[in-house]
Each structure stands twice: as structure tokens, then as C-alpha cells.
Amino acid sequence: MIEAAIEPDLPIIDPHHHLWDLRPMLPMFTEPGHRFIETLVPVAHYTFDQFQAEIARSGHNIRASVFMECGAFYNAAYGDALKPVGEVEYVNGVAAQSASGLYDDARLCAGIVGHADLTRGGAAGAVLDALKAAAPGRFRGIRHQGAWDADPEVLGPPFHAPEGLYRDTTFREGFAEIGSRGLSFDAWVLEPQLPDVIDLARAFPDTPICLDHCGTPLGNASYRGRLAERFDTWRDNIRELARCENVTVKLGGLAMHNCAMPENGPAAGCGSEELARLWKPYVETCIEAFGANRAMFESNYPVDRWGADYAVLWNTFKRIVSGASAQEKAALFAGTAARFYAIEDVLA
């Protein structure tokens, strides 16, 4: 689906995208039970060149981006605890490449979110320090994903975190190291796990937390056809989470195959009008609960390529909030992300 950009001059910070090279792992993608991985095969190689070209083709005014950890480019030579530092080192180089001015005016990877294993408890602090040292001007925090479901087909074996991870005592010892360093935390869970994020946010009210992907509503595997059935539960948990003033929400991730909005992919070919119809109840609920100043649109690329072209994705978001004020749009598309990830200078 090819669409011209709606409101092409509206400044956008894309606060959630990945860069990776999955080609060395392609042989495992053909094994049974790896449905989620299979959706990523068409974009197994997605680094600066691919992302920058995607932005240029889209026609949208992408001013900057924030890289989100994805287990790529780890450096095994650093040992198990410190190997995620390799990812931050790599992305910091990409950020420098983008900032050179040789390509366009976008500041890609202006903020970097890495990974540290918080189940190491207090020892995670040393990893956080090493991550910051690897990108002192760009490192902003970590994500330790907690996505789990009793149905292994929802995600596939490689992506399941331990059940109840965010409530684990040792994990929380590690989590405490984040706040003491003024860093932020990105939380990725599935819709039935939202109470875990609520409990975590209440336990650490001074640590900035961002809920990824609208809390990941589920419509695949054993949840197929149950989006409407579970909507009220999802909405109630979103409203309760919004009561935690330290939490911000990312509006996106709905084009993942897990959400089944659309159900078929990859690159389902749906236009922004159709996607806006599917996503509007979730996006509007989040904005109503959190307010524009605690909500930010995200691409989740290239994962969300399953259901939407990059230009179509941003057109969809713009259609959903077409009636919002200029001030609200400024926050949703750039301002909230700039403030949360401390990259306000990209909008100067």
C-alpha cells in the first residue's frame, strides 16, 4: 500500500525501533514453534541503511529516533553479564554516522535503550554503568522484557520471559539500580500481565517506566478471535496503570502478528483508514487514560512491518488523532518522547 504522507511537516520522534542482523540465525527460523521469528525473516537484515531509506521514502518529518534493545550485536568476549554492552557500542556508532550530516537532518538513535539482566540483583548496577560508559551522551535506560503466557504459541519459545518476572525479588533488587542512576525502564509484557507492571510501578514510584506497545493486546494463538472479549479487562488495567504518575505509554506495536490487527501479513497491504479503524479504540483509550503528555507514538520497526508500511503506519496514527489540538499532536508525535528520553535538543 503506497500512501502520501499526511501532515508531512509535523515533527516526529520515533521512540521505538530496532536494528539487527538476524541472518546468522536463519537456520533456526524453520524449526516448528518459531512463528514470531518467521514474521521477521523478510527483514532479517535491518540496520542504518534500511531504516534511513525507509524514513526517506515515507515522506514524514522524522526528526530523531530512539533505539530499543533487541539482543543484537552482543559482544561475547565481554562475558555473559556485560555482553549487552556490545549492542550499545554498535548503536552509538550508528548514531554518530547519522549525526554526521552526510545523509539527512534526522538524528537517528539520538537516544539508546540497552539491556541489563536485572535478575542479577544488585550486580546489575555494574552493567548499567558499563552501558552508560559505552554511550555517555546517548544511553538513557534499559528494557528487560517480561513477556510470558501459558500458551507457548503466543510468542514462540525464544521470547518467553520467566512467569512473574517483574514481581521477582531479585529482579527488583536489580531494578532498584536503575532509579539510583536516574535511568528509565521500558516494560514489554502481554495484555494479561498488565497487573505485573502496575505492581512494579507502585513499588518504584520514582523510576520512570514506559509501557511498550499499548500493553500488547492479544489476538493470536489461543487468543484468536478474543480481542473484543478481553477489551474491557485491558482497558481497566490501562486506566489503573495510568494512575501511576511515573508511567508513560507507547502507542504502537499493534501491527505485530500477536495482536492480529491486521490478522494477516507480512505487509498486509491495509491502508491507513482500515488500520485506524482497528487501532483507534486502543490508542484513544490510552490517550484518555494517560493524557498526551504521557503518551508517544512509536513505529516498533521493523517488527510492525508485519502489518504496515512505514508511511502507512504514521498516516494511521495521524488519522486517529486528526481532531486533536496542535499542542496535543506536538506531544504525541515528538514532545513526550523528547522529554522521556531526554533528547529535547533534537527539536531545537
Share of the chain above pLDDT 90, in %: 85
C-alpha closest to that of 227 among 239, 212, 216, 211: 216
The pLDDT confidence band at residue 297, using thresholds 50, 70 and 90, is: very high
The pLDDT score that the predictor gives to residue 152 is: 87
The pLDDT score that the predictor gives to residue 264 is: 77
Q: Whole-angstrom Cα distance, residue 107 to residue 100?
A: 9
Q: Whole-angstrom Cα distance, residue 52 to residue 342?
A: 22
Q: Which residues pair with 139 in a beta bridge?
A: 112
Output the average pLDDT for the chain: 93
Per-residue pLDDT tens over the stretch 307-324? 889 999 999 999 999 999
For the chain, state the CA radius of gyration: 19
- Residue 104, pLDDT > 90, answer no
Of 280 and 31, more confident: 280
- Residue 1, pLDDT > 70, answer no
The pLDDT score that the predictor gives to residue 43 is: 82
Of 226 and 41, more confident: 226
Per-residue pLDDT tens over the stretch 170-199? 999 999 999 999 999 999 999 999 999 999
The pLDDT score that the predictor gives to residue 23 is: 82
Per-residue pLDDT tens over the stretch 120-174? 999 999 999 999 999 999 999 999 999 999 998 898 766 689 999 999 999 999 9
The pLDDT score that the predictor gives to residue 270 is: 87
- Residue 97, pLDDT > 90, answer yes
Per-residue pLDDT tens over the stretch 19-63? 999 887 666 555 554 555 556 667 889 999 999 999 999 999 999
Distance of CA 190 to the CA centre of its chain: 13
C-alpha closest to that of 320 among 346, 303, 340, 295: 295
The pLDDT score that the predictor gives to residue 30 is: 53
The pLDDT score that the predictor gives to residue 27 is: 64
C-alpha cell at 32: 516448528
The pLDDT score that the predictor gives to residue 178 is: 98
CB 25 within 8 A of CB 69: no
C-alpha closest to that of 166 among 192, 132, 127, 128: 192
Sequence-ordered list of residues with C-beta below 8 angstroms from that of 214, at least 6 positions apart, any chain: 238, 249, 250, 251, 252, 253, 254, 282, 283, 286
The arithmetic mean of pLDDT across residues 215-230, rounded, is 96
The pLDDT confidence band at residue 103, using thresholds 50, 70 and 90, is: confident
Residue 225 CB coordination number (10 Å): 10
* CATH architecture of structural domain 11-346: Alpha-Beta Barrel (3.20)
The pLDDT score that the predictor gives to residue 156 is: 73
The pLDDT score that the predictor gives to residue 265 is: 67
CB 127 within 8 A of CB 82: yes
